[in-house]
């Protein structure tokens, strides 16, 4: 896919996200075949023994205008009064976007598309609710599901084949209903067009370490 074609695809994903919100069960599906400035946050953190001090286990309303999308599976909520809450969205792991400070020097194929899908979905949502898990992750981030216009965002991006489900690996985090919805969406979506993000992260960290040891022109 050429650069201009990919740029058009990324741009159009906002519109597809709107359709996904407007029509239950209808979502953009990423093309099949092999894979060819927002707040910077750590990538994947596992649940810890650190308890969530904010309200959890039930839906909390969030003003859509205070949500900033980092990538396909992470958002930042800028609450009134200066409180900033980073939310690692549960149930999913989306392709990576470039985060040099976290040893990811390149965008993963479909990473920009996943972020564009998220940006479109959150920009057009008229109601947003956050259901927090009872524990934070290892980076002290909130773990939770985001409900857009009554629909589980994690299921929307999974149906679009722009994220893989992570429930099988991490469990339901005490939110079985939402986790079951993600598993059902993943089963319906079928094979994904990108390598597992955790594999990509591992490769990028090895590459970053080699670059630091022997500086030179990087190669993906």
Nearest residue to 137 via CA among 102, 97, 66, 88: 88
Q: What's the pLDDT tens digit per position in 21-46?
A: 765 544 444 544 443 333 444 455 56
Burial (0-12, 13-18, 19+ Cβ within 10 Å), 169:
exposed
What residue ranges define each of the domains in the chain, with the CATH number in brackets?
3-213 (2.40.50.90)
- The mean per-residue pLDDT over the stretch 114-128 comes to 98
- Is the confidence at residue 140, as pLDDT, over 90? yes
Determine the Cα–Cα distance for residues 111 and 124; give it in Å rounded to an integer.
Answer: 20
Per-residue pLDDT of 66-113, as tens digits, reads 999 999 999 999 999 999 999 999 999 999 999 999 999 999 999 999
Q: pTM, whole model, 2 decimals?
A: 0.81
pLDDT (0 to 100) of residue 184: 98
């Amino acid at each position: 896919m050429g650069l201009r074609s990919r740029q058009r695809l990324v741009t159009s994903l906002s519109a597809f996200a709107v359709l996904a919100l407007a029509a239950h069960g209808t979502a953009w599906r990423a093309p099949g075949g092999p894979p060819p400035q927002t707040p910077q946050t750590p990538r994947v953190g596992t649940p810890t023994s650190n308890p969530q001090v904010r309200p959890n286990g039930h839906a909390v309303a969030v003003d859509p205008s205070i949500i900033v999308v980092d990538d396909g599976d992470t958002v930042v909520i800028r609450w009134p009064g200066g409180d900033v809450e980073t939310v690692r969205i549960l149930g999913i792991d989306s392709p990576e976007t470039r985060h040099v400070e976290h040893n990811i020097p390149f965008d993963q194929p479909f990473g920009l598309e996943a972020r564009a899908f998220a940006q479109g979905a959150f920009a057009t949502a008229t109601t947003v609710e956050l259901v927090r898990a009872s524990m934070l992750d290892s980076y002290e981030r909130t773990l939770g599901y985001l409900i857009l216009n009554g629909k589980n965002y994690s299921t929307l991006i999974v149906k679009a084949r722009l994220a893989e489900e992570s429930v099988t690996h991490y469990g339901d985090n005490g939110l079985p209903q939402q986790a079951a919805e993600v598993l059902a969406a993943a089963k319906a979506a079928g094979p994904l067009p990108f390598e597992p993000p955790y594999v990509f992260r591992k490769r990028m960290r090895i590459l970053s370490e080699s670059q630091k040891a022997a500086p030179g022109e990087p190669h993906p």
